Structure 1
Amino acid sequence: MSKRIRTFHRWTSLVFVATVIVCFVVVAQDDPAEWVLYTPLPPLFLLMFSGLYLFAMPYTAKRRNRRRVAG
């Protein structure tokens, strides 16, 4: 499960970077559409949730190991 989330996080980061680059290109145009500025938000939220999971994983593993040893 962890490997899948890590892979998902990596691919989502690539999508996020691509959407940010597209936003910069579109904003450089004369009359940019405002909705284009919101396109990086969905991948950013996905990165936030997967990143929080990956961040918390070592701490929850330590807690589980302590319970196994103590119990």
Structure 2
Amino acid sequence: MWVRQIHRWLSMAFTLAVIANIVAMTMQVQAVWIGFLALVPLIPLLATGLYLFAKPYLDQRDGVRREARS
């Protein structure tokens, strides 16, 4: 499923952005754009996460019963 794969890659990008933000804060670098860097993957991460959360409920409502895939 392509949404799940995109969600995984976005979560890795978000994690790297948070780590970069923490490193910048420990080095006391005053760059506001580093703080906003985490928002770039966070917004589509939220959208794909909400879709993946709601998908089983929507499938059940439509009468489609599928086995969970890993």
Q: What TM-score does the superposition give when structure 1 sets the normalisation length?
A: 0.82
Q: Which amino acid aligns with 1:37?
A: G
Q: Render the CA deviation track for 1:17-43: whole Å, top value 9, x for unaligned.
A: 001001111111233211211100111
Query: Could you tell me how far 1:55 is from its partner in structure 2?
Result: 0.5
Gaps of 5+ in 2: 65-70
Q: Hey, which of these two has a bigger chunk of helix by percent? A: 1
RMSD between aligned alpha carbons? Answer: 1.3
Alpha-carbon distance in structure 1 between the residues aligned to 2:55 and 2:28: 46
Identity %: 38
Q: Which has the higher Rg, Structure 1 or Structure 2?
A: 1
Q: 2:18 aligns with which of 10, 17, 20?
A: 20
Q: Which amino acid aligns with 1:23?
A: N
State the 4+ residue runs in structure 1 displaced beyond 4 angstroms.
none
Q: Which amino acid aligns with 2:36?
A: Y
Alpha-carbon distance in structure 2 between the residues aligned to 1:22 and 1:31: 11
Q: 1:49 aligns with which of 47, 50, 57?
A: 47
Give the length in aligned residue pairs: 64
Gaps of 5+ in 1: 67-71
